[in-house]
Amino acid sequence: MSDPAYTDKTPCIGLCSTVYGDQVCRGCKRFSHEIILWNGYASDEKAAVWQRLEQLLERVVNARIEIVSSLALHQALSERKVVYWSEQPLACQAYRLLTRCMEEGVQGTGLRLRPAYASVSLKQLRDDIDQTFFDLSLAYYQRHVTPQPGSCD
């Protein structure tokens, strides 16, 4: 991953659940130690966290939504005044659009719901994406961060 300027910004969305003991934040999906140490991280460490978050979210979004026009997506983001970073994967930009202002539907936004999700409401879709993103982040944490029984960590 290149080191785009936004990677020095925090992924925090103001819904932190680590204060309640979660090891993975239900808001930004970072690990509790990443949240605590964020301000001390070097740019490449922050970029690595962003890369993991973007890859997981991209996987989840692309399984549910097809991006048929990046131009229409960017127009919809601009028209709705949704802050996004053009360096991020299109799926992450699409998710920002979904989470901010999709009451009117996806028509004209450059997005098309995949057939398995075409009949669900956008709120249900957004909640499903968020929960699956959290589940993948938690699984990643348990597999790669939590010491396994019998390990020497």
77 with 110: CB under 8 angstroms?
no
In a domain, 150, yes or no: no
Q: How many domains does the chain have?
A: 1
In a domain, 148, yes or no: no
In a domain, 149, yes or no: no
88 with 107: CB under 8 angstroms?
no
In a domain, 146, yes or no: no
Residue range(s) defining the domain that contains residue 136:
5-141
Residue 66 bridge partners (DSSP): 112
Please give the chain's pLDDT, 153 residues, in tens: 456 878 888 998 888 887 777 899 999 999 999 999 999 999 999 999 999 999 999 999 999 999 999 999 999 999 999 989 999 999 999 999 998 766 778 999 999 999 999 999 999 999 999 999 999 999 999 998 876 666 555
DSSP class of residue 28 equals: T
In a domain, 153, yes or no: no
Task: For the chain, report the end-to-end CA distance as a whole number of angstroms.
Answer: 29
Task: State the DSSP H helix or E strand holding residue 78, giving kind and residue range, or none if neither.
Answer: helix 70-79
pTM summary value: 0.88
In a domain, 50, yes or no: yes
